[in-house]
Amino acid sequence: MKEIKVLEVKKISVGTVYKIVAIGLSTLFVIFGVISGIMGVMGFDTGMTFNNQPVTGIKAIVLAPLFSLIGALIMTAIFGSMIALGLWIYSFFKPIKIEYEDTK
């Protein structure tokens, strides 16, 4: 059984915050996009439109993950900025404790 360790840091870099948010959002969004693309190939209306036309068929399998990735990047910019600002303000009052599991 691996041991959970605690790391106490004064500040987390903005790049690290963006990386964590981007990995989390893009992983889930792209999975959702692939599922939507597969449903679009089967003819389901997934609510995805391009030029006010519903996207179905082969276009859906390409566009759904692409749109999802673009959405994840936009949300990463917005939420990553808010999280980085919040952690920066928090760091003036208390150090940040990060619990992690070692890879070894």
Place of tokens 């150090």: 95
How does pLDDT run across 26-79, given as a tens digit for each residue?
999 999 999 999 998 898 878 888 888 888 888 889 999 999 999 999 999 999
- Residue 47: the pLDDT is 81
To which H or E segment does residue 30 belong? helix 14-41
Rounded Cα distance, 9 and 16, in Å: 13
How does pLDDT run across 1-25, given as a tens digit for each residue?
678 899 999 999 999 999 999 999 9
Which two three-digit tokens encode residue 17? 């915050």
Contact 30, 72 (CB under 8 A): yes
Q: What is the pTM (predicted TM-score) of this model? A: 0.82
